[in-house]
Every structure is written in C-alpha cells, then in structure tokens.
Amino acid sequence: MAKGLDKHRARQDSLSWFGKDLARRASSCCELCEASGVKLVTHEVEPVPVEPEFERCILICEDCQQQLLNPKRVQADHWRLLGRAVWSTEPAVQVVAVRMARQLATRYDWAQEILDPLFLDPEVEQWVDNP
Ligand SMILES: [Zn+2]
C-alpha cells in the first residue's frame, strides 16, 4: 500500500511542478472555457501516461474538470466557447476540446458547426480516437 501511496505522491509532485508552466501557457485562464479568476486545476489527458508528461496536461477550471470526469453532468451551454479550444495549438487542449465537441455534436447543431471547418493533424486525430 505504502508504495502505491508514494507513487501517487510523486505524481502529484510532478503535476504541481507543471502547474506554474501551465499557468504561463494558459495565461491563467481555463484552457477550455477561458474562465479567468477561478481556481484552475491540472488535468491529465487520457490515455494517462505512466509518468506524468507536461504535453499531456491541460490547465482547466473545476467546472470543466467535473464535467469531463462525469459525462452525465455535462451542461452543453458551458461548452459554447469550445469553438476556440478546438483550434488550440496545444494538442492536449485540442484533443479534449474535440472529444467534447464530438460528444455534444450528437445532440447539438452548434457543436457540429464547430467541428465542420476543423482540420486535425493525423497525430491529434489518433490521440482523439484513443482515449
Ligand atoms: Zn473551464
């Protein structure tokens, strides 16, 4: 048990290391919904690597994270600003945004409209498809 706990702690340590650089990258706004002035958390994009990787983390608000972790609690209106995130130059942000937009596009035309003009790099596309 202790070993698992140590591992967990080491992971949390690495993630908090990333926090500062992520905050700079994100200009201290949620990288998905652009909320500012709120608490931001480091979120690891699936599939989560064995060792935390900076390029696979995004900085998002707790609202976004709750909805990512609980698909049943997704509130469509919260994601209206995905139109920007799907074009992010950060693959990790793009991947999460596209996954969410695709999920919403089954029910909402505006989400489909976000996706229509989008062109993904093959690597990003592959990441999107392999959570
Ligand atoms: Zn957010």
Give the ranges where the chain is alpha helix by DSSP (H).
2-25, 62-69, 82-85, 91-105, 109-115, 122-129
The token pair at 17 is 């290391």
Burial of 82 (0-12, 13-18, 19+ CB in 10 A): buried
- Tell me, what's the pLDDT at 5? 85
Q: Which of 61, 81, 65 is nearest to 73 (CA)?
A: 65
Q: Averaged over 64-76, what is the pLDDT?
A: 95
Whole-number Å distance, alpha carbon 70 to ligand 1 midpoint, is 14
- Tell me, what's the pLDDT at 1? 53
Residues with CB in 5 Å of ion ligand 1 = 30, 32-33, 35, 60-61, 64
Q: Averaged over 19-31, what is the pLDDT?
A: 95
Kindly report the pTM of this predicted structure.
0.93
Whole-number Å distance, alpha carbon 71 to ligand 1 midpoint, is 15
Whole-number Å distance, alpha carbon 3 to ligand 1 midpoint, is 33
Q: Which of 55, 124, 62 is nearest to 87 (CA)?
A: 124
